[in-house]
Amino acid sequence: MTRRVWLIALMSCWVTVLNPAAAGADTAAGKATFEGLCVNCHGPLGKGDGPAGIDILPAPRDFTVGEFKFDADADGTPGTDADLALVIRDGASVYGGNPLMAPWRQLPEKDIHDVIAYIRTLSKSESAAP
């Protein structure tokens, strides 16, 4: 294999691992999981204003802003898909966040990637609104 082909193959694998959307994540399934597990705190539109989240301090993350606090994998870049996957799986308190953000260890990796893909759409739809 030539060096160029090898490099392209490596980059393709890297993008697939770090970007669930590139790996075929299902945003519709992610939305269903979000509505079942996350909406009480993060709200139906992901604004951090769910009925259980109103009295939580610090407030649940507003996903419509598209900013994320944690660099859970310590790679120097907060808010990557890998960071979100770790926070969803382990809970936020492990990374210095609110202990009320429950760990969802029972979720299969596919479901976690689907939720991440859905969360990513929330900031896109917000910025597209007039």
Q: pTM for this structure? A: 0.77
pLDDT greater at residue 127 or residue 65 = 65
Average pLDDT value for residue range 95-122:
96
> What pLDDT does residue 97 have?
92
What rounded mean pLDDT belongs to the chain?
84
**Model confidence over 98-111: pLDDT tens digits?**
999 999 999 999 99
Average pLDDT value for residue range 79-106:
95
CATH superfamily of 24-128: Cytochrome c-like domain (1.10.760.10)
Nearest CA to 37 among 122, 107, 109? 107
Q: What one-character-per-residue DSSP string does the chain give?
A: --HHHHHHHHHHHHHHHH-GGGGT--HHHHHHHHHHHTHHHH-TTSSS--TTTTT-SSPPP-TTT------TT-SS-TT-HHHHHHHHHH-SGGGTS-TTS---TTS-HHHHHHHHHHHHHHHHHHHH--
**Model confidence over 23-38: pLDDT tens digits?**
689 999 999 999 999 9
